[in-house]
């Protein structure tokens, strides 16, 4: 018997092809069937094929013989004083991942993971300290959204998805793209491409490739240092893809008229938070369409780095604002529950 595949690994196009292949003999309207199945999975969010009432017996049997429908288990929810919630979700193989829900006045954002751990080894990041355990399957990326979506009230509807949880999304490129297709499919989860942001540590060939994709989400780049010397110390990826190459690929990145690249910049006391650093940053990004998210460093246990003072963070921000740069200072959400940037970690693969 063939191993069952997870149906949420399939884009709608792939499902149409699959049905096409299997049912030539008894169904002509394959696209319509795939649309119905997607509706059940992503809008009605059913967990079994038997609940798909308007799917004919023949196809339903085929689906049951070839696929399974996953659902992810929540094993822990931590609520922060600022309203954000960190979820620990259990995967089939016993590993767990984390997703963070962040409420805002008029929009809610979900931060999702693409890997268990991360192999990029950034020195300031707790997920990086875990190393890479494995890539997530497409369905595991999608299930984070479905699971958390399910427990929100109508008023808390999710509007934004950010790929800023555990992992380097571009190291799991294929599954990232599959999940983006399902997330933005009008028969799938129907998120606007403009409301999704994929954040990378700066893998140049993948940034180039991403720019040529049909799906156009927002791109964020974790910059964190404006000089190679500092960035290489913080992010080993910079030794392979340095700032010159990174900025060059950003200059060529296709952006529609109202879009810009987001650069994430961690303010670390006495390392990246001086006015000289701000000057360097402005010089580096000159001529690009961009904004800078300033993130005061969140301390992680045993770290040699320190958070900036509030005054210094404000001073840095003011310098950028005075140079007409959009530079929100992101006071990290969920710091008290270790759900803030770079604080996502699962102590061991079974979460103990």
Residues labelled catalytic = 98, 341
Residue 342 within binding range of ligand SAH, rule CB under 6 A:
yes
Using CB under 6 A, pick the residue from 98, 168, 181, 185 that binds ligand SF4.
168
The 3-state secondary structure of 202-256 reads CCHHHHHHHHCCCCCCEEEEECCCCCHHHHHHHCCHHHHCCHHHHHHHHHHCCCC
Binds ligand SF4 (CB under 6 A): choice among 33, 128, 183, 278: 128
Q: Which does 234 bind (CB under 5 to 8 A by kind): ligand SAH, ligand SF4, none?
A: none
In this complex, which beta carbon is closest to ligand SAH, that of residue 61 or of residue 209? 209
Stretch that binds ligand SAH, among 37-45, 86-94, 117-125, 279-287 (CB under 6 A): 117-125
Pick the binder of ligand SAH from 201, 218, 238, 335 (CB under 6 A): 201
CB of 133 to ligand SF4, least distance (A): 12
Distance CA 218, CA 58 (A): 41
**Angle (deg, nearest 10), helices 12-23 and 57-66:** 110
Residue 136 DSSP label: P
Cα separation, 308 vs 227, in Å, equals 19
In the complex with ligand SAH, the residue whose CB is nearer, 132 or 278, is: 132
Determine which helix (DSSP H) or strand (DSSP E) holds 6, and give its type and residue range.
strand 5-6
Q: Quick check: 41 binds ligand SAH (CB under 6 A)?
A: no
Residue 144 binds ligand SAH, judged by CB under 6 A: no
Please select the residue that binds ligand SAH; options are 10, 87, 124, 173, rule is CB under 6 A: 124
Q: Give the residue among 141, 134, 139 at the shortest CA–CA distance from 110.
A: 141
Instruction: Map the footprint of ligand SF4 across residues 218-247, applying CB under 6 A.
Output: 222
Please give the Cα distance from 225 to 223 (Å, whole number).
6
Spatial contact of 235 and 225, defined as CB atoms under 8 Å apart? yes
CB-nearer residue toward ligand SF4: 102 or 198: 198
Our finding on whether 177 is near ligand SAH (CB under 6 A) is no
State the residue number with the nearest CB to ligand SF4. 128
Return the one option of ligand SAH, ligand SF4, none that residue 307 interacts with (CB less than 5 to 8 A, by type). none
Q: Which of 298, 317, 335, 338 binds ligand SAH (CB under 6 A)?
A: 298
Taking CB within 5 to 8 Å according to partner kind, which of ligand SF4, ligand SAH, none is near residue 176?
A: none
Q: Is position 262 an interface residue for ligand SAH (rule: CB under 6 A)? A: no
Which H helix or E strand runs over 87? strand 85-90
335 binds ligand SF4 (CB under 6 A): no
Q: CB 231: neighbour CB atoms within 10 A?
A: 22
- The three-point CA angle 124-166-349 to 5° equals 100
Q: How far is the CB of 41 from ligand SAH (least distance, A)?
A: 27
Q: Select the residue interacting with ligand SF4 from 84, 201, 238, 262 (CB under 6 A).
A: 201
Among 199, 317, 335, 338, binds ligand SAH (CB under 6 A): 199
Tell me: does residue 125 bind ligand SF4 (CB under 6 A). Answer: yes
Q: Which of 223, 232, 224 is nearest to 273 (CA)?
A: 224
- Segment holding 78, helix H or strand E: strand 73-79
* Residues facing residue 108 across a β-bridge: 103, 158
The CA-atom distances, in angstroms, between 29 and each of 11, 32, 169, 222 are: 17, 6, 35, 45
Between helix 138-150 and helix 173-184 the angle, nearest 10°, is 40
Interface residue list for ligand SAH (CB under 6 A): 118, 124-125, 164, 168, 199-201, 222, 224, 264, 266, 295, 297-298, 300, 341-342
Q: Which residues bind ligand SF4 (CB under 6 A)?
A: 118, 120, 122, 125, 127-128, 167-168, 201, 222, 342
């Amino acid at each position: 018997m063939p191993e069952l595949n997870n149906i949420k690994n399939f884009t709608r196009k792939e499902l149409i092809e699959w049905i096409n292949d299997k049912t030539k003999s008894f169904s002509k309207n394959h696209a319509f069937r795939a649309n119905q199945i997607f509706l059940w999975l992503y809008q009605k969010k059913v967990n079994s094929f038997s609940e798909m009432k308007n799917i004919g017996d023949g196809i339903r049997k085929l689906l049951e013989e070839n696929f399974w429908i996953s659902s992810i288990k929540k094993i822990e929810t931590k609520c922060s004083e600022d309203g954000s919630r960190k979820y620990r979700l259990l995967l089939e193989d016993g590993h767990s991942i984390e997703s963070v829900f962040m409420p805002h006045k008029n929009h809610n954002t979900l931060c999702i993971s693409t890997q268990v751990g991360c192999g990029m080894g950034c020195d300031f990041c707790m997920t990086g300290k875990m190393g890479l355990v494995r890539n997530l399957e497409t369905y595991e990326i999608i299930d984070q959204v479905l699971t958390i979506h399910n427990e929100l009230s109508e008023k808390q509807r999710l509007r934004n998805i950010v790929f800023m949880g555990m992992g380097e999304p571009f190291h799991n490129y294929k599954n990232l793209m599959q999940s983006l297709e399902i997330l933005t499919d009008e028969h799938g989860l129907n998120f606007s491409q403009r409301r999704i942001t994929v954040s990378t540590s700066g893998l140049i060939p993948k940034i180039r490739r991403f720019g040529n994709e049909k799906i156009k989400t927002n791109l964020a780049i974790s910059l964190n240092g404006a000089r190679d010397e500092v960035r290489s110390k913080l992010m080993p990826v910079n030794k392979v893809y340095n700032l010159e190459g990174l900025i060059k690929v950003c200059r060529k990145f296709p952006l529609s008229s109202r879009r810009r690249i987001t650069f994430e910049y961690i303010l670390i006391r006495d390392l990246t938070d001086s006015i000289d650093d701000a000057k360097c940053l402005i010089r580096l990004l000159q001529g690009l369409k961009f904004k800078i998210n300033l993130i005061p460093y969140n301390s992680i246990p045993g770290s040699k780095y320190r958070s900036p003072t509030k005054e210094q963070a404000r001073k840095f921000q003011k310098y950028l604002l005075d140079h007409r740069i959009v530079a929100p200072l992101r006071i990290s959400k969920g710091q008290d529950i270790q759900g803030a940037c770079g604080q996502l970690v699962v102590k061991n693969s079974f979460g103990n």
